[in-house]
């Protein structure tokens, strides 16, 4: 807890911002060669930070369930978010650092696919989390 606030609500916002932004930058870097110099390094850095944030969100969310209960649907989407954002970070790192042309192309495609998955699961986890918190108020 930070200042009596659970860390989970704070760190999930990092995931919701970093993962889609990293995905966008990486897709641009892979698909548009002239944008690689700017979008590639920034996309890789944000993907790694997004994956780390997803792991922290998962762990802090597990701790938070002891206090607020177990939002089943939110939990169902949380773990795929961790896996897909980690896959995006890993494939992006490999795409960025491997110079072999064929391997780089393969990792470029894998980066795009994992980016799509990461954004999809981030949206599903984020929406179900917002529903768990704010759904009762509407």
CA distance 25 to 78: 23
What is the per-residue pLDDT across 95-124, written as a single tens digit (0 to 9) for each? 999 999 999 999 999 999 999 999 999 999
Q: Record the pTM.
A: 0.91
Do you know the residue count of the chain? 138
Residue with tokens 């996309």: 43
Q: What is the largest CA-CA distance in the chain?
A: 54
What is the per-residue pLDDT across 49-78, written as a single tens digit (0 to 9) for each? 999 999 999 999 888 877 777 788 888 999
């Amino acid at each position: 807890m930070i200042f009596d606030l659970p860390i989970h609500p704070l760190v999930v916002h990092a995931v919701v911002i970093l993962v889609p932004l990293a995905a966008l930058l990486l897709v641009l870097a892979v698909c548009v060669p002239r944008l690689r110099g700017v979008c590639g390094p920034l996309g890789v850095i944000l993907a790694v930070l997004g994956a780390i944030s997803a792991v922290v969100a998962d762990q802090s969310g597990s701790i938070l369930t002891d206090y607020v209960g177990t939002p089943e649907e939110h939990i169902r989407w949380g773990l795929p978010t961790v896996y897909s954002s980690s896959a995006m970070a890993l494939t992006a790192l490999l795409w960025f650092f491997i110079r072999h042309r064929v391997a780089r192309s393969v990792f470029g495609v894998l980066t795009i696919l994992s980016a799509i998955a990461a954004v999809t699961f981030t949206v599903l986890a984020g929406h179900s989390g917002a529903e768990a918190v704010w759904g009762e108020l509407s």
